[in-house]
Amino acid sequence: MEHRRVGRAGLKVSALSFGSWVTFDQQLNDDAALECLQTAWDAGVTFFDNAEAYAGGESERIMGRCFERLGWARETYTVSTKFFWGLRDGPNTRLTLNRKYLMQGIDRSLERFGLNHVDLVFCHRADPETPMEEVVWAMHDMVSSGRAHYWGTSEWTADQIREADELAERHHLHRPVVEQPQYNLLHRERVEEEYASLFTDIGIGLTTWSPLASGLLTGKYAAGIPNDSRGSLPGYEWLAKRLTNSETLAKVGRLQAVANDLDCSLAQLSIAWCARNPRVSTVITGASRVSQMRENLAALEVLDALDDRLGDDAETQGKREPQQLGALARHARCRQSRGRS
């Protein structure tokens, strides 16, 4: 599998990665999670994404136990975690990026993982109440101490990222190297418009999440919410309304026609489309079973079938209407057929 640099950093991550949000603990026990991790590894995936808040910390524990059972050499894989949401109520334990929370949070996270460091650590959201200088110094110290190798942000605005970077540069501190935003065929503006200048000015990398828009871009919600889907899980009622929006489902239907033209699944088309963006370091995928993992990983095969214009530069990629994508897909399919002859 192709490995890409994380922005200006020297670190490389696999073009597709595996994340544990929602699935670990709620849908995958240790054995099932291990099987998915091994399947991803066998396909060349080397980056695994997690967060303190996922399953109340249990997601990190499951992933850590799996790493121990799998026995991979620590230098051969990359793992991340994130902080902001917290695990318990209290003035310094939830919805904050203050120094006390961050420094204690990374220690507890490493304990849950059973590791002595993570490779990437993210500020899971911005904190308007903690001074940016305090946040940047804490993240710098986290990296300087060896608990993490690089730090970044998740769902921060371009202005917030720029402020953090300028502050770090001014004080000769470790600068943020990566942002983790949502990015998919239905959610593009932040990456393609708001962040545009950050790529050239700062050299920020992207580890993007939700390439399937919480399952919408699989087509499985066209007839309602299946009982075994993410939209049916307790605590995710907020998601159910989004998954059954008629206007969005109509867009999904048109994109399904594009996937049919490419002779691939809608999920594979959606993941491949994200991966074609040259600004994306890795596309974080999720799976609740091995069959889903294998289908998602097969998206790399779709990349070879896409016309260059279907996944061109970040300024024009994805701004085409589904019918235009369909015409390009048919052209790409013809090229693919000629290549096989």
Positions marked catalytic: 54
* 183-195 b/e (C-beta count within 10 Å ≥ 16 → b): bbbbbbebbbeeb
Q: What separation in angstroms does the CA of 15 have from each of 67, 199, 315?
A: 20, 18, 20
Tokens of 47: 């980056």
* CA-to-CA separations, 227 to 22, 127, 221, 231, 235, in angstroms, rounded: 15, 36, 11, 8, 14
- The radius of gyration computed from the CA coordinates of the chain, to the nearest angstrom, equals 20
- Cβ atoms < 10 Å from Cβ of 320: 16
What whole-number distance in Å separates Cα of residue 296 and Cα of residue 298? 5
Region at 92 (left for phi over 0; alpha for psi -120 to 50; beta for the rest): alpha
Separate counts of helices (H) and strands (E) for the chain: 13, 10
Query: Kindly report the CA angle at 44 between 39 and 48, in degrees rounded to 5?
Result: 75
